[in-house]
Chains A and B, each alone.
Chain A
Amino acid sequence: MTVSRALPLSRPDRLAGRLGVPLLLGAALAWPFLTVRTQPYLLQLSLNILIFAVLAVSWDLLARTGQLSLAHAAFYGLGAYTSALLATRLHVPIPLAMLAGGGLAVVCAVGLGLLTLRLRGIYFAIATLAFTETLRVVAKQVRFFGAATGLVVPPLFPASLVGQYLVILAVLLATLLVSWRVNRSRWYFAFTAIRTNEAVAAVMGVDVVRFKVAAFALSAFFAGLTGAYYAHVFLFINPFEVFSLAISVGALVAPIFGGLYTTAGPLLGAVVLRAGEEALRATIRSGHLILYGGILAVVVLYMPRGLLGVLVALRLRRPPAVAVGPAPPAGGAGR
């Protein structure tokens, strides 16, 4: 796999920092109070965007080790089901149940991570997909899990859209903080080394197993927590929705679109894609995703470093020396 060599990855993130983290944070905090009375629909939509953003940022954490996971929906669904079952059947307080959802996702991620250590590339992707789909079939078949009809879930913040928004914003901030910290610690070098060449990394003394499993666990925790949040906010879950491939794909499309292996990229990608999708849905009633698929193909072919890469290139006024992440094809149309 061709991977980052020269360009310091912190540069795109630093740019994002200069764009004004405090400003963005202020806007994000003010947003619910500005919209709740006049535009509740926009606020509702924001919940969706933020959920999607957490998934994207947390998916990128695992991607940094070079593992292309399609198991994000599995952790999301595990979180949703665990929390919903604990809250309805055992009357566990909801915040605790949500944390337990994240916790079980971590446990499963560690198990899956250890089992799939040997698998790389497409093998890993298929195995994680199979894991997700197996869970979906189990949830669909077993009556205890609500079977195909799904489960009705008690609410986290009854009738307070602002409260719900602030909770997911807090989860997103925590995810962003972890993602940002990881890229600024020695983990960054370990992840990059593993992604570039696992064998060499191991020879150089990187504990490959530990870092891979840790990345898996970290990534799964936020996915599980978000799944639990989804359950308690939308009050109903079924196996087709929470274990859906669309969740896993959404979680990986946003980082690609925004800029892989960074903190700001997945966030940017998630916000632009989800908001764009909604705008398309409003204008084209059926099949609005046709453009989505087209955009995805075009981005892969012509914007190998994502939106953030384009922004950075514009700012630097010259193309970066070496591509980060998706490499332009040899002799192809990339920059």
Chain B
Amino acid sequence: MLIFGTLRSGLYALAAVGLALSVGVIGIVNFAHGEFLMLGAYLGYWLFASYGVDPLAAIPLGAAGLFVLGGALYRTAIRRVLRAPELNQMLLTFGIAIFLQNLAVILWSGDPRTAAIPYKASALALGPFTIGLPQVVVFVLATGLTAALYALLGRTRVGKAMRAVAQDRVGSAIIGVEVDRIYLLAFGLSVALAGTAGLMITLQLSASPYMGLLYTLKAFAIIVIAGLGNIGAVVYASLVLGLAEAFVEFYVPNGGGWSEGVFFLLILLVLLVRPRGLFQ
């Protein structure tokens, strides 16, 4: 149970950290986050099915492509609602989400697509437990990427600029940070991270046009548990969610069905009891 929960949380963290970046640094509530993940999953499927490219090998290309897409979206749309009420931001990103969903329906039909990757079903024996190989690979990679992002935020000039902008937009602008470019970068990065998570999902599950919403919601659950804007706590919050879901699946009768409600209950509880998040 612990292992399952932990392994799952790696992917959650990767999916959520991008959203945390967009909410925390730019202050944009992106309801289309999961749709970028969906695009990544389809990209993985398509590259594998047409050219035999392993989704893991496609990550650099996919991430770069989605970064460009994110940047373009920032330039054409997101930038215009930066100072608009939250309602407008949500609606704009809802619009983008619906657009992308239905684009996927047109391009790939509504049926789920599964990439038949040879090592999908292979498993690792770890003492008394057997664990799926893809799960382990994804966990290691996702954790690595998340750690790399933290290093970027903590160590580099750009990362420090991002954190500065997140804290005080006007102040950062005064000391010479090019806020607009930082926003562009953060949004592109956020979309690229979602896409990468999507590519990794291709290893385990199938891609479908409507899969995005679920991940948007889970990512929201995680950043709410972490506290909006608290990028550092995303990893712990992902662990909380992953373990809570695994717990319900294992110990509650008919738990598979209940587990999809776990994160909503968690969100409600956290928002009502500690609206600032568990880790602040």
Give every chain A residue within 8 A of B101 (Cβ-Cβ): 289, 293
- The A/B interface has a contact count, at CB < 8 Å, of 149
Band of interface residues on B: 35 or more
Known: A148-B257, A290-B105, A293-B101; 6 extra A-B contacts, CB below 8 A, are: A2-B84, A126-B220, A245-B213, A286-B106, A287-B103, A294-B99
Which of chain A's residues has its CB closest to B82's CB? A329
How many residues of A are counted as interface, with CB atoms below 8 angstroms from the partner's CB atoms? 55
Cβ contacts A to B, 10 pairs, < 8 Å: A1-B85, A68-B87, A133-B217, A288-B102, A290-B105, A293-B102, A300-B95, A325-B87, A329-B79, A329-B82
Which of chain A's residues has its CB closest to B93's CB? A297
Docked pose: A206 CA to B126 CA in angstroms? 64
Is the beta-carbon distance between A123 and B106 smaller than 8 angstroms? no
Which of chain A's residues has its CB closest to B266's CB? A130
Nearest 5 Cβ contacts at the A-B interface: A137-B261, A293-B98, A293-B99, A296-B95, A297-B95
Docked pose: A3 CA to B221 CA in angstroms? 29
Is the beta-carbon distance between A297 and B90 smaller than 8 angstroms? no
B64 an interface residue at 8 Å Cβ cutoff?
no
Nearest Cβ in chain B — how far from A318, in angstroms?
A: 23
Instruction: Contacts A127-B272, A253-B91, A330-B83 given; indicate if A296 touches B98 (C-beta within 8 A).
Output: yes
Give every chain A residue within 8 A of B207 (Cβ-Cβ): none
Most chain B CB within 10 A, of A126, A295, A304, A327, is at A126
Instruction: Contacts A127-B272, A287-B106 given; indicate if A141 touches B90 (C-beta within 8 A).
Output: no
Pick from B23, B77, B82, B254: contact of A301, CB below 8 A: B77
Docked pose: A115 CA to B110 CA in angstroms? 39
Which of chain A's residues has its CB closest to B87's CB? A68
Interface string of A310-335 (1 = CB under 8 A from B): 00000000000000011111101110
Is the beta-carbon distance between A138 and B261 smaller than 8 angstroms? yes
Nearest Cβ in chain A — how far from B211, in angstroms?
A: 14
Docked pose: A263 CA to B79 CA in angstroms? 31
Instruction: Contacts A289-B101, A297-B99 given; indicate if A2 touches B85 (C-beta within 8 A).
Output: yes
Which of chain A's residues has its CB closest to B27's CB? A122
Interface string of B209-220 (1 = CB under 8 A from A): 000010001001
Give every chain B residue within 8 A of A252 (Cβ-Cβ): 91
Interface string of A99-117 (1 = CB under 8 A from B): 0000000000000000110
A197 an interface residue at 8 Å Cβ cutoff?
no
A129 an interface residue at 8 Å Cβ cutoff?
yes
Q: Which of B90-116 contact A (CB under 8 A)?
A: 90-92, 94-103, 105-106, 109-110
Is the beta-carbon distance between A122 and B86 smaller than 8 angstroms? yes
Docked pose: A140 CA to B256 CA in angstroms? 12
Q: Which of B8-61 contact A (CB under 8 A)?
A: 23, 29
Binding site for B on A (CB under 8 A): 1-3, 63, 68, 115-116, 118-119, 121-123, 125-127, 129-131, 133-134, 136-138, 140-141, 148, 245, 249, 252-253, 256, 286-290, 292-298, 300-301, 304, 325-330, 332-334
Q: Which of B264-280 contact A (CB under 8 A)?
A: 264-265, 267-268, 271-272, 275
B260 an interface residue at 8 Å Cβ cutoff?
yes
Instruction: Contacts A141-B254, A141-B257, A289-B102 given; indicate if A130 touches B271 (C-beta within 8 A).
Output: yes
Docked pose: A123 CA to B271 CA in angstroms? 7
B81 an interface residue at 8 Å Cβ cutoff?
yes
Pick from B81, B97, B220: contact of A293, CB below 8 A: B97
Instruction: Contacts A127-B268, A137-B258, A137-B264 given; indicate if A286 touches B105 (C-beta within 8 A).
Output: yes
Is the beta-carbon distance between A293 and B105 smaller than 8 angstroms? no
Docked pose: A329 CA to B99 CA in angstroms? 22
Most chain B CB within 10 A, of A294, A300, A329, is at A300
Is the beta-carbon distance between B106 and A256 smaller than 8 angstroms? no
B80 an interface residue at 8 Å Cβ cutoff?
yes
Give every chain A residue within 8 A of B79 (Cβ-Cβ): 329, 332
Docked pose: A129 CA to B94 CA in angstroms? 14
Give every chain A residue within 8 A of B95 (Cβ-Cβ): 293-298, 300
Nearest Cβ in chain A — how far from B24, in angstroms?
A: 12
Instruction: Contacts A1-B86, A130-B271, A326-B87 given; indicate if A290 touches B264 (C-beta within 8 A).
Output: no
Is the beta-carbon distance between B90 and A68 smaller than 8 angstroms? yes
Docked pose: A272 CA to B258 CA in angstroms? 38
Give every chain B residue within 8 A of A326 (Cβ-Cβ): 84-85, 87-88
Docked pose: A118 CA to B273 CA in angstroms? 11
Instruction: Contacts A288-B102, A294-B99 given; indicate if A121 touches B224 (C-beta within 8 A).
Output: no
Is the beta-carbon distance between B268 and A131 smaller than 8 angstroms? yes
Docked pose: A296 CA to B110 CA in angstroms? 22
